[in-house]
Amino acid sequence: MWLKFEQRPEPSKVMTYLSPLLAVGLMFLSGLILFLVLGKSPVEGFKVFFLNPLRDSYGVAELFLKATPLMLCAVGLSVGFKANVWNIGAEGQLLIGALAGGWLALHFEGSTSRLLLPGMIVAGALGGMAWAAIPAFLRTRFNANEILTSLMLVYVAELMVSWLVHGPWKDPDGFNFPQTKLFSATATLPLLLAGTRVNVALIFAIGALVVGWIFMNRSFMGYQMKVAGQAEFAGRYAGFSAKRSVWIGMLAGGAMAGVAGISEVAGPIGQITEHISPGYGFAAMIVAFVGRLSPIGIFFSSLLMALLYMGGEQAQQYLNLPSSISKVFQGMLLFFLLGSDVFINFRPRLVRRRK
């Protein structure tokens, strides 16, 4: 007997929504096994990793704080992914967004203008878009694979941040730490809830989800992106511009990543350091896939991913495990999702192997 996959006449709608849940279930299960293998009590590990972070309202607020950049990046990336535009450089776009907006904050230090903060957000978006425009241009003009170019630019962006905080932008009174001055109050995002760190960026993120939903599901341009992603030749047959899809896909990702970047440095971090993002730009790809590239799904999957980040910190603190365990969980989650997706188009059947 062996397992065979048999194509369904029509893809299963139920499995489309069930498969992320199945993937999450499998991830929990392998988490238990992982703790067991590491010689920790699975129950204890599960508690520390998945439950501890949410035991009080501050924890819940932190969850939303960490989910915010993930939501922003993921909704931007999903626009491109729908059109088969593989922007995997959101991490770099996030950093450049942080630099662009941060530059305003540092340059107009002490300014009390009400325009400073909005200006920083816009600069962040523009910075991210500019960084994403490079692979978009190289793809549309020279046919260069955007996966590889956008990824390479992540390393360049990281080095650029490192250079600035070690060099020109270093806080002269900062005891030689590689970081800029703290942003002034007028250059910092207002908090939504006193006593927590959740700030207005969450509103931006939810706004982005709403706009993203309308764009993908109701606008003709969103429809064209979908066609470009599912059937390139149909797009050409219809006369939709493939280049425009690439540009929109890349720029949407870049803009949202840029906003995420400036929201981090003008939010919980409050200055530019070498550690702006613990890989939000990469994790956002997983968020986008697990969220089925739909804004509603992305809302929930970004919360889940934020939980994995917090779980990693908890595991480091209480279980003496490296915090990179959260990346192991993230990777597993995406794998399980891709695997579970087979059930959307196929149904498993046990067949007898013929001699």
Partner 1 sequence: MDLSFLSSILFATVVAGTPLIIVALGELVTEKSGVLNLGAEGIVSVGAVAAFAVAHHSGSPMLGILAGMGAGMVMSLLFGISALTLMANQVASGLALSIFGVGLSAFIGKPYESIALASVQPIRVPLLHRLPLLGPSLFEQQGLVYFSWALIAAVSWFLYRSRAGLVLRAVGESPVAAHAIGYGVVRIRYQAVLFGGAMAGIGGAFLSVFYTPMWVEGMVAGRGWIALSLVVFATWRPLRVMIGAYLFGGCMITQMFVQGSGARVNIPAQFLSSIPYVATVLVLVLISRNRSTIRINSPASLGQPFLPDA
Partner 2 sequence: MPTPTSDTPRLAIRGIRKVYPSVVANDGIDLTVMPGQIHAVLGENGAGKSTLMKVIYGVIRPDEGELLWEGRPVIISNPAQARSLGIGMVFQHFSLFETLTVVQNVALSIPGKLDLDPLAKRIEEVSERYGLPVDPRRMVHALSVGERQRVEIIRCLLQNPRLLILDEPTSVLTPQAVRKLFETLRQLAAEGVSILYISHKLDEIQELCHKATVLRGGKVTGTCTPAEETPQTMARMMIGVDLPACSHGEPEDGGEVRLLIQGLSHATDDPFGTDLKDIHLEVKAGEIVGIAGVSGNGQQELLRAISGEEPHADKRAVRVCGVEAGHMNAARRRGLGMCFVPEERLGRGAVPRLSLTENILLTAYRKGMLFAGLIRFGVAKRFAEECIKRFDVKCGGAHSEAKSLSGGNLQKFIVGREIMQEPKLLVLAQPTWGVDVGASSFIRQSVLDLRNSGTAVLVISEELEELFEICDRIVVIAKGTLSPSKVTSETNVEEIGMWMSGLWPGAKTQGEATHVA
Site residues, partner 2 (CB under 8 A):
6-11, 214, 218-221, 223, 226-227, 230-231, 233-234, 236-241, 354-355
Residue 61: CB minimum distance to partner 1, A = 26
Residue 192: CB minimum distance to partner 1, A = 30
**Binding residues for partner 1, how many (CB under 8 A)?**
47
Separation between Cα atoms, residue 126 and residue 132, nearest integer Å: 10
Residue 258: CB minimum distance to partner 1, A = 20
Instruction: State which of residues 18, 152, 200, 206 lies at the interface with partner 1 (CB under 8 A).
Output: 152
Give ∠ CA 255-260-263 in degrees, rounded to 5: 125
Residue 347: CB minimum distance to partner 1, A = 13
CB 150 within 8 Å of CB 92: yes
From the list 64-72, 103-111, 150-158, 199-207, the region that binds partner 1 by CB under 8 A is 150-158
Counting contacts by CB under 8 A, is residue 324 touching partner 1? yes
- Dig out the tokens for 157 from the structure: 């962006």
Separation between Cα atoms, residue 157 and residue 154, nearest integer Å: 5
Give ∠ CA 204-206-208 in degrees, rounded to 5: 65
Separation between Cα atoms, residue 266 and residue 206, nearest integer Å: 18
- Partner whose footprint covers residue 6, from partner 2, partner 1, none (CB < 5 to 8 Å by kind): partner 2
Give the per-residue contact string, 112-141, with partner 1 (x = CB under 8 A; - = no).
----------------------x---x---
Give ∠ CA 327-297-337 in degrees, rounded to 5: 50
Q: Coil, strand, or helix at residue 278?
A: coil
Instruction: State which of residues 148, 192, 211, 303 lies at the interface with partner 1 (CB under 8 A).
Output: 148
Nearest Cα neighbor of 339 from 20, 6, 3 is: 20
Burial 158-174, CB ≥16 within 10 A → b, else e: bebbeebbeeebbbeee
Counting contacts by CB under 8 A, is residue 37 touching partner 1? no
Instruction: State which of residues 285, 304, 307, 310 lies at the interface with partner 1 (CB under 8 A).
Output: 285
CB 301 within 8 Å of CB 91: no
Residue 353: CB minimum distance to partner 2, A = 11
Q: Which is nearer to partner 1, 2 or 220 (CB)?
A: 2
Nearest Cα neighbor of 94 from 276, 287, 295 is: 276
From the list 50-58, 219-227, 256-264, 339-347, the region that binds partner 1 by CB under 8 A is 339-347
Q: Quick one: CA dihedral 200, 130, 230, 287, positive or negative? A: negative
Instruction: State which of residues 9, 13, 114, 143 lies at the interface with partner 1 (CB under 8 A).
Output: 143
- Residues found near partner 1 in the complex (CB under 8 A): 5, 7, 86, 88, 134, 138, 142-145, 147-149, 151-153, 155-156, 159-160, 162-163, 166-167, 282-283, 285-286, 289, 321-322, 324-328, 330-332, 334-335, 338-339, 341-342, 345-346
